[in-house]
Amino acid sequence: MTVGVTGFRALFLGLCALLLGGARDMVLVPEISQHEIEVRQGFTGADLLLYGAILSPEGARAAKDTDIVVVLEGPVRSIVLREKQKVAGVWVNADSTQFRSAPAFFAVASTRPIADIVDDKTAAIYELGLKWLQLSPIGVIDPAEQARFSAGLVDLMRRQGLYQENEGAVKTSGDVLYQARISLPSSVQTGTYTAETFAIRKGKVVASAITQVDVRKEGFERFVAVNAETNGLIYGLFAVLLSVGMGWLAGRLFALV
C-alpha cells in the first residue's frame, strides 16, 4: 500500500509540476545527519538531524510564507492490535483488530501546527500527522470501532516514543535553511526509514523530496539476532552451555573463598 501511495504522490507531484510550469518550481535540497544508524552494543537511541535548503527557482531565497513539514516513517508491518476489557472482574484481551500497514516508527515535525498549514484533505493525502496515518485495517469493521483502535495504537506508540508529532520543531533560518531534530528511542525496529520533506505554500505542496535512513544491527548484535533466528539448535545449545558453565564456575570460585 505504501507503493500505491508513493506512486500516487509521484503522479500528483508530476501533475502539479505540469500545472504550475517548471519555472515556478521551488527547489528543495534535503539532507540527514546520518544515512545509516548502527544498532550495536551500547545503543540507547539516536538523534537525527534533518536539514536542508529551500530555494525559489531563480536561486533566490524562498518566500517567507513557505512552511516545511518533515515526515520520518519506519518500516511498515502487519500487526494485530489487542484490546483489554474487564470481563468478570479481570482485565483480559477481549477484542482485537488487524492493520496491514502500521509503521514501526512515525514522526512528523513542522514549522507550525499542521492545521494552520494545510487543509484536512491535503493533510490526509500526504499523511501529515498521526491523525492521518493510513493503517489499512483488514476485514470489515465499523468506522467507530476502527477509530477507537487507531486512536489506541497511536496513543500506545506515542507514549513509547515511536510515534511523534512535533509542531514547531522545524526551525528555519534566513528563509533558506531549515532543520528539525527527531529522536529515535532504543526500541526502534531495524529496516529502511524514509524521510520525506514537504515545502508548503498557501496550503499547497510546492515541492517534496525523499531521503532514506538505514537502521540495522551490526557486529555482535547482528550476529546474535541472525543466529537466534536461523540457527536455533546451536544458539540454544550455546545458551545452555553458558548457563551450566557459569553456574559451575561460580560454585568452584566460591569454594575457594
Q: Binding of other proteins at residue 142 (CB under 8 A)?
A: no
DSSP state of 188: P
Give the DSSP per-residue string, 201-251: ETTEEEEEEEEEEEEEE-HHHHHHHHHHHH-HHHHHHHHHHHHHHHHHHHH
User: Could you tell me the smallest distance in angstroms from the CB atom of residue 4 to other proteins?
Assistant: 19
CA–CA gap between residue 85 and residue 133 (Å, rounded): 25
Query: Per rule CB under 8 A, is residue 235 in the interface with other proteins?
Result: yes
Candidate list 3, 44, 119, 173; residue touching other proteins; CB under 8 A:
44
Q: How far is the CB of 252 from other proteins (least distance, A)?
A: 8
Choice between 8 and 238, CB closer to other proteins: 238
Stretch of 61-69, 171-179, 194-202, 244-252 contacting other proteins, by CB under 8 A: 244-252
Asked if residue 106 lies in contact with residue 72, where contact means CB atoms within 8 angstroms, the answer is yes
Determine, following the binding rule CB under 8 A, whether residue 47 of this chain makes contact with other proteins: no
- Closer to other proteins at the Cβ: 35 or 82? 82
Q: What is each CA distance from 215 to 34, 163, 242, in whole angstroms?
A: 10, 16, 30
Q: What is the footprint of other proteins within residues 58-87 (CB under 8 A)?
A: 77-84, 86
The angle formed by the CA atoms of residues 224, 226 and 231, to the nearest 5 degrees, is 95
By rule CB under 8 A, what count of residues binds other proteins?
Answer: 59
User: Which stretches of the chain bind other proteins, using CB under 8 A?
Assistant: 39-45, 77-84, 86, 89-93, 96, 98, 102, 149, 152-153, 155-157, 186-187, 189, 217, 220-222, 224-225, 228-229, 232-233, 235-240, 242-244, 246-251, 254
